[in-house]
Structure 1
Amino acid sequence: MLTSRHLSKIDFIPSNTKQAKAALKKSYDDVADWIPSSFVKYGITEFPLFCLKLFNLSMEYGTCSSARKTSLITLRFKTGSRSDIVNYRPINLTSVPLP
């Protein structure tokens, strides 16, 4: 089990933020946290750094907002019969930017 001591050793760095931002797909749809990926990717440059600071503070103090403790699970069809549950994989949708 992860404790506050373990979490305080996790550090998010700006280069990781740049890589994640570059990998984002364009989306203008509503998402669980109400922040579309297009805002993160094409919005103000300070936003990802602000999120980075929030994540690091969350790890340092071992706290996590209730939004980060919940997720939406949706099924994505792989191949085969659509009536067989084993032909689907679960996709975990979480509130990405906010800790």
Structure 2
Amino acid sequence: MSIIQYIQRINIELIIWPVALILLYCMNPAADGTFSLCPFKWLGFTWCPGCGLGHGIHYLLHGDLKNAIHHHVLSPFAVAVLLHRTFQIGRSQLRLKNNHT
């Protein structure tokens, strides 16, 4: 299998979730900016069920469980799900590569 064929078979989630976790790790939750990734905020809603999840994930990735749970109680669960899914897809991709070489 050529490198181009292998790249075409890469599951896009294997790129999206690690990049999202890296960006959340690098974000500054203390910055008072108007930019938000929340589609509810874009639409003018003042309440969102995921509000604070990004900040919670940021704090959890930095080892601050107290602040993570303070910002969103499900942030540890979200990190666990994203890491599990990333490793699951990665393992699947490795099996696919090994079966075709």
Q: TM-score normalised to the size of structure 2?
A: 0.30
**Which has the larger Rg?**
2
Q: TM-score normalised to the size of structure 1?
A: 0.30
Q: Which has the higher strand share?
A: 1
Q: Which has the higher helix share?
A: 2
